[in-house]
Amino acid sequence: MIVETGHYALVLALALALVNSILPAWGAASGDRRLMAVAPSASIAIFGLIGYAFFALTYAHVVSDFSLVNVVENSHSAKPLIYKISGVWGNHEGSMLLWVLVLSLFGAAVALFSGSMPQDLRANVLAVQSWIGSAFLLFILLTSNPFARLGAPPLEGNDLNPLLQDPGLAIHPPLLYLGYVGLSITYSFAAAALITGRIDAVFARFVRPWTLVAWICLTLGIAMGSYWAYYTLGWGGFWFWDPVENASLMPWLAATALLHCAAVMEKREALKIWTIFLAILAFSLSLLGTFLVRSGVLTSVHAFASDPTRGVFILAILVTFIGGSLALFALRAGGLKQGGLFAPISREGALVINNLLLTTCCATVLVGTLYPLALEALTGDKISVGAPFFNMTFAPLFVPLFVLMPIGQNLAWKRGDLIGAAQRVAVAFGAGVVCALAIAAWRGGPVVSVLLSGLAVYVIVGSFADLGRRVFASSANVGTVVSRALGVPRQALGTAFAHAGLGVTLLGLAATGWGAEKILVMKPGGRVAIGAYELALDSLFSRAGPNYTEIVGKTIVSADGRVKAVIEPATRFYPARRMSRTDAGIATLGLGQVYVSIADPGENGAVSARIFWKPLVALIWIGALIMAFGGGLSLSDRSFRIGVARRARKVAALPQPAE
Amino acid sequence: MSSLRAIVALLFMLAPLAAMAVEPDEIMSDARLEARARALSAELRCMVCQNESIDESHAELARDLRLLVRERLQAGDSDAQIRAFLVQRYGDFILLKPPFKLSTWLLWGGPFLAFLGGAAAIVFFARRRPSLPSSVPLSARERARLESLLADEDRPLDPR
């Protein structure tokens, strides 16, 4: 019964979304305030209904209701509760339901928190959000119904893919969806701004916090996914340039570019057309990602061609929304008035370069991801575009970005002084050089790693150069310094942290060059040295989990005769699907990690093991956390508090900032 | 071909034992050859996996290919010879870094075209928009007006 009410709620949500697609927009066009007032309450109600549908599906999974096709195909009564819940979105139908849930969540959030927005703009934003919602609800109900029942329910389900039975599944998809479906709101803002003709700094001010929320979630989601892959795939890689990963990286790059140019639009009313375009682009890439992942086109172009219902439906949604918004854009963009002027060498100019590089990165990923599909569809030739291609094309774009980042931060708005900015980052540059030299002398190793760590240190120090200079300027009175430090706007602090986070990630990437790897056969009692550590395989034993059996290789990690950690790498076998997966044993020691993964033991009681020492590897993900923290700091800046008029604030004798 | 791949994929999924990517018994005694083998394997695609190199893949086919690569290395083939041999056998699909040729020029040129196109667009728009007004020196008339305004500054404003 609960399942049926959930299904009904979903249909009701579609009906309400259709109503909400039309009435507020009509009201905004005709100036009818009553019709516009429909939008907020309808948006909240849509969220409530989809939320209920989602609850109903979760309930069916939790109680293992095997009369549902979706539960039979993806669940098992012996599966632990957390995977019963996360299994809801570990499949096509459920993940689409999560998709629309997040979409409606953002609609409801705008309805609740953007009361101070111009009413017609808000009505149009929510209407556009409902257009997207209607399209995807229709998609779910027509092609991917999670509530489909079975006439003759089986006694047991097929279980979830073992690779997905992991805490990663509980966190990664929801975060990722909050990120890239969250970008729908910037799309809706752009479309609404084009419709109402309100394309100004006010628009940028309202759209920026939402973009920032989506960006933070996307950053965390991607980092989480990368760590998940790192510990389950068993060979220590953390980024694969897989089309599915690229599908989330492209919106991230576009959203990052958008955040930067929206800052220009908000402060200087410049780059308006470009900001709107990026807002459309970011969500278009999210839609493209959804198409790539959900249509099956990635597995094989032929598989897609043989059962195209879902793919064609999403493709139609994609074409409608991207094409529609671009048409609207073409119609309106020409009439936009030119905004603030700026010299080529200025903060704005630097942000233009930033956008050029980021969008080129994005185009590179896009071409690399779609090219094999297009080529196969057009000529039948099969090629592979993998990590070596992306590493080769991505690095020349990202390195200049890192080099220019601190310089751009130190340029003044409107008209900057390049030599002055270069002088301000001289300390950071010096720190980078000293660090690279020190590493080269002390540790040696691959030249690329040495240079990249120097670059990373330069970025980290350079991110704080401007703030440091302002806080510690001239008078070295402790009280003044403290009050200045407290007076630093959180937005500036957030920027510094986010940039530094990128530097920290780069440092982690650079350090992979100093890693060590050993592949060997071990018997219990065997020892092996790696990095500064000694590993001893203590014992091999089998153990039964709730829905799997595993063989564990208890390994003791020690240094200088003292035990540092005990890890339990394992291989697990899931009888329901007759599939196995490895579970790496990871000991985090300082910022580095000892990583062990084992295969099934042979008859002689020996086991193949793959052992890594990965110095500073944790920095890769810590960097992402710092980036997200920076985003959060920025978000908490009072200028972002929507609806609170910005009050002039007195800052204790802050010297003229370089912005 | 596709049905064969499906069967291979299915067999792999049914295989109850967890294999490893590079297994200890594959490793060559000559460390330099082994390093070359690893570098080569990282650029070769496991044909039955999704976007995994044979160096990373657990699949049986990937193991066969790894052994094949090592066999050729042992026989004294150069990296280029081994690549050419594999391409002849499996097509360009096996290379994770696609070769530069007529059908892939847009792939390799894409990033450069995007960058150059973007840069050209920026230059074009920057030229079209007026430069900063402050960089234009005042004309004689403006200077005269400015001076009269400055001279007026001490006088009281019009009561309005």
B115 touches chain A (CB under 8 A): yes
Q: Find out whether A409 and A461 touch, Cβ atoms under 8 Å.
A: no
> Is residue B73 one of the residues assigned to a domain?
yes
How many whole angstroms separate alpha carbon A283 and alpha carbon A272? 17
Looking at the fold, whether B132 and B111 belong to one and the same domain comes out as yes
Q: Where are the beta strands (DSSP E) in A499-598?
A: 516-522, 527-530, 533-544, 549-559, 562-567, 570-574, 579-583, 585-589, 592-598
Query: A387 vs B96: CB contact, 8 Å cut-off?
Result: yes
Q: Is A398 on the interface with B (CB under 8 A)?
A: no
Asked if B91's CB is within 8 angstroms of A384's CB, the reply is no
* Contact status, residue A113 vs residue A90, Cβ threshold 8 Å: no
Residues in chain A with CB shorter than 8 Å from the CB of B92 are 381-384
> What integer pLDDT is reported at residue B9 of this predicted model?
43
Contacts of B118 in chain A (CB under 8 A): 356, 359-360
Please state the separation of Cα A574 from the chain's center in Å: 30
Contact call for A234 and B92, based on CB within 8 A: no
Is residue B81 located within the same domain as residue B23? yes
Q: Do A364 and B107 touch (CB under 8 A)?
A: no
- Chain B interface disruption, residue of A367, A373, A384, A574, most B CBs within 10 A: A384
Query: For A251, how many CA atoms within 13 A lie in the half-sphere containing its CB?
Result: 36
DSSP state of A657: -
Q: Are residues A235 and B56, on separate chains, in Cβ contact within 8 Å?
A: yes
pLDDT for the residue numbered A653: 45
Measured between alpha carbons, how far apart are the two ends of chain A, in Å? Answer: 60
Question: Is A299 in CB contact (< 8 Å) with chain B?
Answer: yes
Q: To probe the interface with A, which of B89, B90, B97, B106 has the most A CB atoms within 10 Å?
A: B97
Whether A4 has a pLDDT exceeding 90, the answer reads: yes
Q: Which of B96, B102, B103, B124 to mutate to test the interface with A (most CBs of A within 10 A)?
A: B96
Contact A429, A437 (CB under 8 A): no
Compute the distance between CA of residue A276 and CA of residue A189 in angstroms, rounded to an integer: 9
- Helix/strand/coil (H/E/C) assignment for every residue in A182-235: CCHHHHHHHHHHHHHCCCCHHHHHHHHHHHHHHHHHHHHHHHHHHHHHHHHCCC
Asked whether A365 and A397 are in contact (CB, 8 A), the reply is no
- pLDDT score for A164: 85
Cα A164 from Cα A147, distance rounded (Å): 21
Domain boundary residue, one of B74, B94, B114: B94
Chain A residue nearest residue B21, CA to CA: A235
Torsion of CA A275, A276, A278, A279, to 10 degrees: 120
Please name the helix (run of DSSP H) or strand (run of DSSP E) that holds residue A613, with its range, or none.
strand A607-614
pLDDT band at residue A303, thresholds of 50, 70 and 90? low
Question: In this structure, are B46 and B67 located in the same domain?
Answer: yes
Region A119-138: mean pLDDT is 94
* B2 contacts in chain A (CB < 8 Å): 300, 302
- In this predicted structure, what is the pLDDT of residue A338? 66
The pLDDT, as a whole number, for residue A294 is 83
- CB contact under 8 Å between B107 and A392, yes or no, is no
- Give me the residue label for tokens 């070596």: A388
The predicted model gives A641-649 an average pLDDT of 43
Q: Would you call A610 an interface residue with chain B, using a CB distance cutoff of 8 Å?
A: yes
- Rounded Cα distance between A594 and A66, Å, is 42
**CA A436 from chain center: how many Å?**
31
pLDDT, averaged per 10 consecutive residues of chain B (160 residues), comes to 42 44 79 88 85 83 90 90 92 90 89 92 78 64 83 55
Q: Search chain A and give the residue with CA nearest B127.
A: A344
Nearest in space to A360 (alpha carbons), one of B59, B19, B120: B120
Q: Give the model's pLDDT for residue B18.
A: 46
The candidate with the shortest Cα–Cα distance to A393, out of A366, A357, A358, A361, is A361
C-alpha closest to that of A100 among A124, A134, A69: A134
Which chain A residues have a beta carbon less than 8 Å from that of B111? 360, 363-364, 367, 393, 397
Say yes or no: B9 and B55 in one domain.
yes
**Which tens digits make up the pLDDT trace of A204-218?**
888 889 999 999 999
Domain termination residue (choose one: B94, B116, B139): B94
- Does the structure show a pLDDT above 50 at A245? yes
Other CB atoms within 10 Å distance of the CB of residue A632: 16
Q: SS3 breakdown of chain B: % helix, strand, coil, rounded to 5?
A: 60, 0, 35
**Residue B156 in domain:** no
What is Dmax (Cα atoms) for chain A?
82
Cβ atoms within 10 Å of A156's Cβ, excluding its own: 13
- Average of per-residue pLDDT across A24-31: 92
User: How many other CB atoms sit within 10 Å of the CB of residue A299?
Assistant: 11
Please tell me the predicted confidence (pLDDT) of residue A306.
61
User: How much is the average pLDDT of A415-441?
Assistant: 88
Most confident of A46-55, A384-393, A444-453: A46-55
Whether residue A1 is predicted with pLDDT greater than 90 in this model: the reply is: no
Both B87 and B107 in a single domain?
no
Instruction: Let me know: does A247 contact A288? Beta carbons within 8 Å.
Output: yes
Which of A99-108, A458-467, B43-52 is predicted with the least confidence, judged by mean pLDDT? B43-52
Identity of residue A599 = A
Q: Decide which of A98 and A424 is more confident.
A: A98
**CA–CA distance, A394 with A175 (Å, rounded to integer):** 25
How many whole angstroms separate alpha carbon A512 and alpha carbon B97? 21
**Phi, psi dihedrals of residue A410, rounded to the nearest 5°:** -100, 5
Instruction: Decide if B158 is inside a domain.
Output: no
* Residue B52 to residue A240, Cβ atoms within 8 A: yes
B108 and B86 share one domain: no
Query: What is the rounded CA–CA span in Å between residue A74 and residue A91?
Result: 7
Asked if B94 is an interface residue toward chain A (Cβ–Cβ < 8 A), one would say yes
Put simply, whether A562 touches B (Cβ < 8 Å) is: no
Is it the case that residue A547 has pLDDT exceeding 90?
Answer: no
Q: Name residue, tokens 């790539």.
A: A292
Spell out which residues of chain A touch residue B19, defining contact as CB-CB under 8 Å.
Answer: 599-600
Determine the average pLDDT of the residues in A396-423. Answer: 87
CB-based contact (8 Å) between B20 and chain A? Answer: yes
Which residues lie below 8 Å from residue A76, measured CB to CB, with a gap of 6+?
A: A64, A156, A157, A158, A159, A160, A547, A576
Is the CB of B122 less than 8 angstroms away from the CB of A368? no
Tens-digit pLDDT profile for residues A477-486: 788 888 887 8
CB contact under 8 A, A384 and B45: yes
CA A396 to chain centre: 23
Do A271 and A264 touch, CB atoms closer than 8 A? yes
pLDDT band for position A300 (cuts 50, 70, 90) = low
Quickly state the pLDDT bin for A408 (edges 50, 70, 90): confident
d(CA A473, CA A487): 14
Predicted local distance difference test score (pLDDT) of residue B1: 36
Q: What is the DSSP string of A19-32?
A: HHHHHHHHHHHHT-
**Within a domain: residue B30?**
yes
**Residue A127: pLDDT above 70?**
yes
- ipTM over the 0.85 cut-off: no
Q: Note whether B65 and B137 are same-domain residues.
A: no
pLDDT in tens, A37-96: 999 999 999 999 999 999 999 999 999 999 999 999 999 998 899 999 999 998 889 999
Same domain flag for B59 and B116: no
Q: Are B88 and B48 in contact (CB under 8 A)?
A: no
Residues from chain B that touch A234, judged by Cβ atoms under 8 A, are 20-21, 58
Q: Which residues of A touch B136 (CB under 8 A)?
A: none
Minimal C-alpha gap between B124 and chain A (Å):
13
B128 touching A (Cβ < 8 Å)? no
Across the interface, whether the CB atoms of B18 and A379 are under 8 A apart is answered no
Interface residue A238 vs chain B (CB under 8 A): no
User: Cβ of A158 under 8 Å from any chain B Cβ?
Assistant: no
Say if CB A296 and CB A309 are below 8 A apart: no
Number of domains in chain B: 2
pLDDT digits (tens, 9 = 90+) for A141-199: 999 899 999 988 899 988 888 888 888 888 999 999 999 899 999 999 999 999 888 78
User: Mutating which of A360, A552, A580 best tests the B interface, going by the most B Cβ atoms within 10 A?
Assistant: A360
Q: Is A387 on the interface with B (CB under 8 A)?
A: yes
> What mean pLDDT value characterizes chain A?
88
Residue B160 lies in a domain: no
Q: Got the DSSP string for A402-468? A: HHHHHHHHTSPSSS--HHHHHHHTHHHHHHHHHHHHHHHHHT---HHHHHHHHHHHHHHHHHTHHHH
A393-398: average pLDDT:
89
- Same domain (yes/no): B58, B40: yes
Q: Which pLDDT value is given to residue B5? A: 44
- Answer whether A573 sits within 8 Å of B21, measured CB to CB: no
Shortest distance, CA B31 to any CA of chain A (angstroms): 12
Of the pLDDT bands very low, low, confident and very high (cuts 50, 70, 90), residue A269 is confident
pLDDT at A335 over 80: no
Domain harbouring B34, CATH code = 1.10.8.640
Contact at CB, A600 and B18, closer than 8 angstroms: yes
The answer to whether residues B19 and B81 belong to one domain is yes
A380/B13 Cα distance (integer angstroms): 27
Global pTM reads 0.88
Q: Is residue B79 part of a domain?
A: yes
Are residues B81 and B121 both part of a single domain? no
| Mean pLDDT to the nearest integer, A612-629 | 95
Closest by Cα among A280, A234, A226, A242 to A505: A226
**How far is A114 from A108, CA to CA, in rounded Å?**
10
* A118, amino acid identity: P
pLDDT in tens, A493-518: 999 999 999 999 999 999 988 998 88
If pLDDT is split at 50, 70 and 90, which confidence band does A359 have?
A: very high
Question: B9: domain range?
Answer: 2-94
Instruction: Say if residue B107 is in the same domain as residue B89.
Output: no
What's the pLDDT band for A656 if we cut at 50, 70, 90? very low
Strand partners, B88: none
Percentage of chain A modeled with pLDDT above 70:
94
Minimum distance, in Å, between the CA of residue A386 and any CA atom of chain B = 5
What pLDDT sits at residue A649? 43
pLDDT at A636 over 90: no
Give the A:B interface size as CB pairs under 8 Å.
143
In a domain, B157, yes or no: no
% of chain A surpassing 90 pLDDT: 53
B159 within domain boundaries = no
The dihedrals phi and psi of A650, each to the nearest 5 degrees, come to: -90, 125
CA-nearest residue of chain A to B93? A383
Query: How open is the CA angle A190-A193-A199, to the nearest 5 degrees?
Result: 105
Place of tokens 């979630």: A217
Burial of A113 (0-12, 13-18, 19+ CB in 10 A): middle
Token pair belonging to B57: 């893949």
Query: A383–B119: do the CB atoms touch at under 8 Å?
Result: no
